[in-house]
Amino acid sequence: MAATTVWQPRDDGLAEIFTLLEQQISPSSAVDKSQIWKQLEHFSQFPDFNNYLVFILVRAEGKPIGIRQAAGLLLKNNLKRVWISMAQENQKYIKSELLPCLGAVDRHIRTTVGTIISEVVNIEGVSGWLELLPALVSCLDSNDLNHMDGAMDALSKICEDIPQVLDSEVPGLAERPINIFLPRLYQQFFQSPHASLRKLALGCVNQYVIIMPAALYNSMDKYLQGLFVLANDPVAEVRKLVCAAFVHLTEVLPSSIEPHLRNVMEYMLQVNKDPDEEVALEACEFWSAYCDAQLPTENLKEFLPRLIPVLLSNMAYADDDESLLDAEEDESQPDRDQDLKPRFHTSRLHGSEDFDDDDDDSFNVWNLRKCSAAAIDVLSNVFGDEILPALMPLIQAKLSASGDEAWKEREAAVLTLGAIAEGCFNGLYPLLSEATFLLPLLDDKFPLIRSISCWTLSRFGKYLIQEIGNPKGYEQFEKVLMGLLRRLLDSNKRVQEAACSAFATVEEDAAEELVPHLEVILQHLMCAFGKYQRRNLRIVYDAIGTLADSVREELNKPAYLEILMPPLVAKWQQLSNSDKDLFPLLECFTSISQALGVGFAPFAQPVFQRCMDIIQLQLLAKVDPASAGAQYDREFIVCSLDLLSGLAEGLGSGIESLISPSNLRDLLLKCCMDEASDVRQSAFALMGDLARVYPAYLQPRMVEFLEIASQQLSANLIRENLSVANNACWAIGELAVKVRQEVSPIVTNVASSLGLILQHGEAVNKSLVENSAITLGRLAWIRPDLVAPHMEHFMKPWCLALSMVRDDIEKEDAFRGLCAVVKVNPSGGVSSLVFICKAIASWHEIRSEDVNNEVSQVLNGYKQLLGNSWAECLSALEPPVKERLARYV
């Protein structure tokens, strides 16, 4: 039988690919990289192109390492796309070439091979490559450093990218791969004399803490023993991994460290002072994790006198902190593009605000200073005033440190006061009655002290506002307000940013207390608006929007509008329809239009027309950027739809004259069908707002609007679709109460989808559950005959959800529906009667007389229907529920 011929490259093909790779990695700007990519893309059409790449990586000895590595990385990226469709003999050839190279002499080659192996395992698991595990084991057991390092590197990448693959059954293997590797990692590699192997081994095992497979759980003692051995490793990266392991164990399985708690805490306290900042940072994460894990607080309390000074000393700026460089920037220096943080517009959402906000800080670097401040914050919330005796003498000593060289100490003390503002509220009370002690620091010569003082004062805002009723408290609030406004006009960009953000926080807390100061506030804000560079301008827009949200219609006075509107309108006219600086301005106008209500009418026409133009331009850019003269960016559409919603909410039926002659209806329908979830989310919010104020406008395409909205409720409700479903659900309910019987065609489908959402309430979120309960009630009120036959399936979760809704007009509508279906199908509610009673008892007071009567009729109807069993049903209810029901029955 003839031997299978092994694939061999052709010399000319090899030379050509080699030259291209050489040019690709060449630093020379004379080389046109896009042409090279085109050539490589062209070659990738040939079935054996990837064989050439693996050949260059593995066998081109004597050639430059950079070129061999480039071949390997290109191979890895290609395999992602083509592995599944590759001929089997080519797959086999690539695998057979990679394995012997695990022990390559050059580390760059070994690690590139490890990356490719991990990619193949990611695609087809370990069962598709039966030779891999024996090859890794044989390298690990070889005692040859290169082979052990290559195998450990590949293993660590598999553990990082696809840890579960080693914790699954593999045909032909007596045990799971993880059971083969873990003992080797503990016994051989945790104790290896080679730091690189210790690091890789510990990194591998750490990946499994989060998913905690049985193999790790059952060998926990060996893992912990290994951690204690490595705890004082001379290599910082290993110590960092030890700290990470203890933090993850504390989060995932706190019971595992409880027997060793004192030792672990003692160790973490020591390493929190590690000369290597990354190690100290990892150790610092432990204290917040400890508190979250609800481990015994008395153990931690004992450590506070030693822990607090460490955290405090780590809160001073490090000499290489990038903020120190930024802090010197004067307002006259224009912003560079890289200074502008990516911004995220949050699409309009109707209902309880329980969706996770994107953390604005994601753009900032997490470091030891911030982590230490977060730890102090958490400790202050757990222990409250008990931390003050250990903390206040240190804060006071740092605050009174004089001289320029001590400014970082003073700054850290102010940061600490801000961090403990919420947790130690009561104990700081006497000090706070002199909150003005921070005011002189607003004028400190060091910009970072001025900026942190703004933040700390804003953290005490709630306290100051509580005290506003007495003369001294009012005077303090005024001083702080004026101090922050003064800093808005600071010449330092960093201080401007801090003052403006702090002021926005105070606005939210103070709300109507700001009204007497509106004129001076607007003067300062618009003065800042005139002098800020682009980055800080965004924060001014936010502060203006927050002010409008806080004082609402109080803003609608000619004297205030004279100060506020002309500069905003001028900016609005200056920016083109495709300028991204429009986003924060559109958001700002949304808040202003909602606050002013009909007072916004004089500005409404140009704002409405501009939104329409922007949406049309973007819909064109989506299909034909050249003729639109702009690149498609859906955020323009989202912000414009939200501003139109703000107009609808503010102007009410006054929006009729704006939208009647327009083609908004057709544009909106397109946006409701957009593939991007945030566009759909804002589109359904606008549909609901229009349904409330001008339902007749939607009439000509009513059936389509309802149909598309109902489709969102049966979609795959993953995270981004939840907000879309939430708004679509709300919009259907708003439309239903206006157009009544016209919603009939969708009632059965929507009721069925809402029933499913309510049954799986724990998988969605509070807002969607509430809106589902209300919309289901509204549909049941309009067409009880269509909803009642299915009520048994969702009665219990529906009633539970209604119990959580606050008393308002929407809840009244929902109860009209609940009563209507019970009347149509009383027997369908018997099995859920306890829950119906609890839902009724959730009302503090039903203000509507007709709903009150309906509820009373339902309860009395069941009382008659059940006869002697009624008392039995009541006995299952808690006394407060019975007490409330007595009003109706």
DSSP for 632-665? --HHHHHHHHHHHHHHHHHHGGGGHHHHTTS-HH
Average pLDDT of the residues in 499-527? 94
Contact 535, 513 (CB under 8 A): no
Reported as a pLDDT band with limits 50, 70 and 90, residue 356 is: very low
Residue 347's φ and ψ, nearest 5 degrees, are -60, 155
Cα 181-186-188 angle, rounded to 5 deg: 85
Q: 641 near 682, Cβ under 8 Å?
A: yes
Integer-rounded Cα Rg, in Å, for the chain is: 33
Q: Which residue has the tokens 């045909």?
A: 171
Contact (Cβ atoms closer than 8 angstroms) between residue 394 and residue 308: yes
The Cα 676–Cα 737 span in angstroms is: 28
* Per-residue pLDDT, 53: 96
Backbone angles phi, psi at 847, to 5 degrees: -80, -30
Reported pTM: 0.78
Indicate whether 358 pLDDT > 90.
no
pLDDT digits (tens, 9 = 90+) for 59-116: 998 899 999 999 999 999 999 989 999 999 999 999 999 999 999 999 999 999 999 9
Residue 360 has pLDDT above 60, yes or no: no
The pLDDT score that the predictor gives to residue 434 is 58
Question: Taking residues 650-655, what's their average pLDDT?
Answer: 93
Q: What is the DSSP letter of 1?
A: -
Which one, of 21, 23, 82, 27, lies nearest residue 52 by Cα? 21
Residue 123 clears pLDDT 50, i.e. is over it:
yes
Residue 299 pLDDT > 50: yes
**What is the distance, to the nearest Å, from the Cα of residue 835 to the centroid of all Cα atoms in its chain?**
35
Mean pLDDT within 238-246: 98
Of all residues in the chain, what percent carry a pLDDT higher than 70? 94
Contact indicator for 333, 496 with CB cutoff of 8 Å: no
Q: What is the rounded (10 degree) CA torsion for 418, 419, 425, 430?
A: -50
- Positive or negative, the Cα torsion across 59, 64, 66, 70? negative
Instruction: Point out the least confidently predicted range of 20-34, 304-318, 558-572, 671-685.
Output: 20-34
What pLDDT is stored for residue 30 in this prediction? 66
Range with the poorest average pLDDT among 129-138, 369-378, 718-727: 718-727
Euclidean distance between CA atoms 655 and 662, whole angstroms: 11
Q: Where are the alpha helices (DSSP H) in 162-219?
A: 177-184, 195-206, 214-218
| Average pLDDT value for residue range 311-315 | 95
Q: Which of 266-270, 408-412, 434-438, 700-704 has the lowest mean pLDDT?
A: 434-438
- Token pair for 208: 């499994």
Rounded CA gap, 535 and 112, in Å? 41
Q: Which two tokens stand for residue 866?
A: 């059940």
Q: Band of the pLDDT at 226, cuts 50, 70, 90? A: very high
pLDDT confidence of residue 329 = 65
Q: Is 492 helix (H, G, I), strand (E, B) or coil?
A: strand
* Cβ pair 487, 495 in contact under 8 A: yes
3-state secondary structure 600-628: HHHHHHHHHHHHHHHHHHHHHHHHCHHHH
Greater pLDDT, 2 or 789 = 789
Q: Fill in the DSSP letter of residue 594.
A: H
- Residue 200 · residue 189 · CB < 8 Å: yes
Q: Which residues pair with 330 in a beta bridge?
A: 492
Half-sphere exposure (Cβ direction) of 163: Cα atoms closer than 13 Å: 15
Query: Tokens standing for 174?
Result: 């007596």
815 bridge partner residues: none
H runs (alpha helix) in 125-191: 132-140, 145-161, 177-184
Give the number of other Cβ atoms within 10 Å of residue 725's Cβ: 28
Q: What is the pLDDT of residues 677-727, one digit of tens each?
A: 999 999 999 999 999 999 999 999 999 999 999 999 986 777 778 899 999
Amino acid identity of 556? N
Judge contact between 737 and 755, C-beta under 8 A.
no
Q: What 8-state DSSP symbol labels residue 491?
A: S
pLDDT at 1: 45
| C-alpha span between 698 and 700 (Å, rounded) | 6
Cα dihedral 325, 327, 328, 330, rounded to 10, equals: 130
- Bridge partners (DSSP) listed for residue 492: 330
Q: Residue 70's closest CA among 101, 35, 116, 29?
A: 116
Are 594 and 649 spatial neighbours (Cβ–Cβ below 8 Å)?
yes
Q: Give the model's confidence band at 465: pLDDT under 50 very low, under 70 low, under 90 confident, else very high.
A: confident
Long-range contacts formed by 744-749: CB under 8 A, 24+ apart: 744/782, 744/783, 744/786, 745/703, 745/706, 746/706, 746/707, 746/710, 747/779, 747/782, 747/783, 747/786, 747/787, 748/786, 749/710, 749/714
